Amino acid sequence: MTAATDGALPPWRQRLRGALKREGRQVSARWLQLATVAADGTPRVRTLVFRGWSGAAQLELYTDGRSSKTAELTHQSQVELCWLLSKAKQQFRLRGAAAQVAPAADQSQWRSLSPSGRALWGWPHPGQPFQSEAPFPQELPEDAPIPEHFIVVQISIQQVELLDLSHHPHQRLRWRHDDDWREQRLNP
């Protein structure tokens, strides 16, 4: 993971950073919703943990390569993320494309997880019928081999919309990558 330098940060990253700061140590501040499109054209949405930035406008998520979303992303890479920062009363909607959906390139991502966080990749195939005799480890150590289904998803952000409810009237702002991240104010 490379940290973008401050000077290169798109303006919406600064707004997001401000909102994240207000959340303090709240773990839920790193939860966001990822919407994908299934092969039959119907929508899917679920919560994921934001894992960090891999570029000024590229964020990282971790998932299980056996999960439905991985197949959905391979079929249709366009996604929308919804990130609610409740203390700041701000909603960020980020549109983008899954630039990479691949096994972890190095150990750092796998090692960045807690032992209990890693354990999920030692569980049986997600979404399949539950079998009580199947192993559900509580922890996986740092030196456990990286499972092939430990997938890092990199989302390249193309457009960001912020709705800020803390002002009267509410503030709705939009930035587009193909418009050099110029800020445009919209009616809320």
Ligand X SMILES: Cc1cc2nc3c(=O)[nH]c(=O)nc-3n(C[C@H](O)[C@H](O)[C@H](O)COP(=O)(O)O)c2cc1C
Residues lying near ligand X in the complex (CB under 6 A): 31, 44, 46-49, 62-64, 67-69, 126-127
Q: Which residue, chain included where needed, has tokens 């303090």? A: 24
Write down the least CB distance from residue 76 to ligand X, Å.
13
In this structure, what DSSP letter does residue 35 have? E
**In this complex, which beta carbon is closest to ligand X, that of residue 74 or of residue 166?**
74
Write down the least CB distance from residue 48 to ligand X, Å.
4
Answer for the pair 73, 98: CB distance below 8 angstroms, yes or no: yes
**In this complex, which beta carbon is closest to ligand X, that of residue 127 or of residue 169?**
127
Phi, psi of 111 (to 5 degrees): -75, -20
Taking CA atoms, 101 is separated from 12, 44, 49, 104, in Å, by 24, 17, 16, 9
**In this complex, which beta carbon is closest to ligand X, that of residue 90 or of residue 109?**
109
Please give the structure tokens belonging to residue 128: 């399949």
Write down the least CB distance from residue 36 to ligand X, Å.
7
**In this complex, which beta carbon is closest to ligand X, that of residue 52 or of residue 126?**
126
**In this complex, which beta carbon is closest to ligand X, that of residue 64 or of residue 80?**
64
Pairwise CA distance, residues 52 & 68, whole Å = 22
CA atoms within 13 A on the CB side of 82: 10
Write down the least CB distance from residue 177 to ligand X, Å.
24
Write down the least CB distance from residue 16 to ligand X, Å.
18
Positive/negative CA dihedral, 141, 146, 151, 153: positive
